Structures are given as structure tokens and as C-alpha cells.
Amino acid sequence: MINILVSRAWPKEAENRLISQALGEVTLRHPDTPMTHKEWMEAAKRYEVIMPTVSDKIPAEFYPAAAGKVQVMANYGVGFNHIDIDAARDAGIAVTNTPDVLTDCTADLAMGLMLTAARRIGEGERELRAGKWIGWRPTHMIGKKVTGATLGIIGFGRIGQAMAKRAHFGFGMKVVFQDAWTVPDDIKAASGNATQLGSMPEVAAACDFLSLHCPGGADTYKMINADVFAAMKPGSILVNSARGDVIDEDALFAALDSGHLAAAGLDVYHNEPALDQRFQSYENLVLAPHLGSATNGTRAAMGHRAIDNLTAFLTGQTPSDLVS
């Protein structure tokens, strides 16, 4: 009998399907808390299948301990920088993820962060709830116009393209972007005639809003640094719905302190959920608790996608979302 561990609570619809498919003996961890180091090391010897999430902290010692036992990590989420892919490969563990199904909702959230930061909606709500609003006046809560502005995108995969379409076709924005791959003309045209530029500083210098849609990991760690912030136009706004570790947070705070960066809308952070306390000090930061895919349809679809990948793996097929 295959033993299957789901590391965090899923939507009931997806959990029920996993159980009903009878792929193996399923363990659902409730209450929904992070696994401890001890639990990971015990799991390495007990389960053939582990279905982790993007918030899991998997210890390095897990992988050699799991060699010969754990066959596959069917990840619940598109991002997989919490999994050491090289170590998993060395241990003979296949890895899958769940792309596509969360594209639209993550792009929607990024657009919401951009609008909220630009129009100072969070600041306004806090003022109103505190009973400090004294009424309409010509100079009150002046924000930044979105319609017709230029959006810069770092990372032009599925979510970056979806963001470009929302910005261009919904708000008449010009779109420029940077990505390591040369994007075909038909994709650029479908994404609002987006223009590919050669570097992040070039994109930063050309845009009014900079939105991040790149993967996390060693290659992108703190790549949005002081040089990128310096290249941005004064008064620009940053949006991050990708991964927290792509931003150098010290450089972010410095850009906010100098006034060079007008505001930011953030959904992800270093070491989340243990945020740097400095985040609490800035009224011009819009802070969301990693909600990019947090809609009922999307979170269930992520579970179904993970189950589809697992089903394929256990029946000797190649999963459609095989990472390694």
C-alpha cells in the first residue's frame, strides 16, 4: 500500500477526491500547521508520496533520509523553490507542480495591489475607520493615475502575460518587460503589443509601475536591489506577487525612506510569515498575506492538478507538470 502525506489542509473538495480515488493510504494533517523538523524526518521513512505546499520549510537532511522511500513530491502550488530540486533528484524523488490553474487569480491580485497602492485605498480606509476623515477636499489622498501609464513586468511567463493583458486592455497601459527567454512576436502582440527590453534596469527606467512575476530561488535571490530601485523613475510603484526573496528588503525600505519609491503593493515576503517589523511602519505599503491564488475555485483546482500529476506518476505515465 502506497502511503500518501498531505502536508497542509486543502479545500475539502480536493481532499475528498484524493481519498476517494484510493491511490493509497492518505494522511491529512489537521490542524493546519507547518510540519516540524522531526515530522519531516519521520515522513522521510514512512511515506512514498508527499504532497507539500509552497509554504513548507523542508530541511536539507530530509532528502538523503528519504532516498529509497519517497518516490514523488506532488507539490500543491506552481512555485517550487521550497524544494531542493537537485537534492530531490539525487535522492530519486520526482517533483511536480501545479501551473496554469492559478494564473488568472494571481494576475487579478497583482492588479488589485497595483490599484490599491496607486490610489491609496488602504490608507484611505484606515483613515475612515479611525474616524479621521473630515470630508472631500481637492488635495486629499492624491494618488497616481494608472490608466495610460507604463507597466514594467519582470518575468513574462503565464502570469506576467496575464498581467500585461489586464493592464493594456483594461487600463490602456503600455507594457514593457524583461525575461531571459526571447518572447515570440505573437505572444507579445496578444499581451497588448508588449515590448521586450534587454535588462531589468532598462525596464525599471521605462515604467511607472514595476510588477514582478518571476520565480524564486538562487538565480533570482534579491535581484530587485538598490541598482534596480535607483533606475526606477521617481514616484514609481512596485508590485510583487511572485516570491518574497526576489526583493532586497533593505533596498526596498531605503527607496521608500528616500521617497524615490512612492509605494508598493506586496503579497509575498522574506521568511514569511515572520515579516520584518519595518513593514508595519509604512502607510504607503499595501500588505497582503500571500493571497495570490486564494479563491475557492483556484485553490480546489490546484489540489485537483496535484492529484492528476500523482495519478499519472503512480500509473506509470509521465505527469503533465513534471519538474524533475
Q: Which positions are annotated as active-site residues?
A: 243, 272, 290
Residue with cell 497582503: 288
Show the cell assigned to 123: 490608507
**DSSP state, 247?**
B
Phi and psi at 233, nearest 5°, equal -65, 145
Show the cell assigned to 89: 533528484
Residue 124's CB is within 10 A of a number of other CB atoms, namely 15
Helix axes 121-129, 103-118, angle to 10 degrees: 70
Show the cell assigned to 217: 530561488
Cα four-point dihedral sign 62, 67, 71, 77 = positive
Q: Are 207 and 176 in contact (CB under 8 A)?
A: yes
Q: d(Cα 168, Cα 149) in Å, to the nearest integer?
A: 10
Residue 107's CB is within 10 A of a number of other CB atoms, namely 24
Q: d(Cα 237, Cα 232) in Å, to the nearest integer?
A: 9
Q: d(Cα 189, Cα 73) in Å, to the nearest integer?
A: 37
**DSSP state, 71?**
-
Q: Are 313 and 96 in contact (CB under 8 A)?
A: yes
Determine the distance from the C-alpha atom of residue 46 to the mean position of all C-alpha atoms in its chain, rounded to a whole number: 30
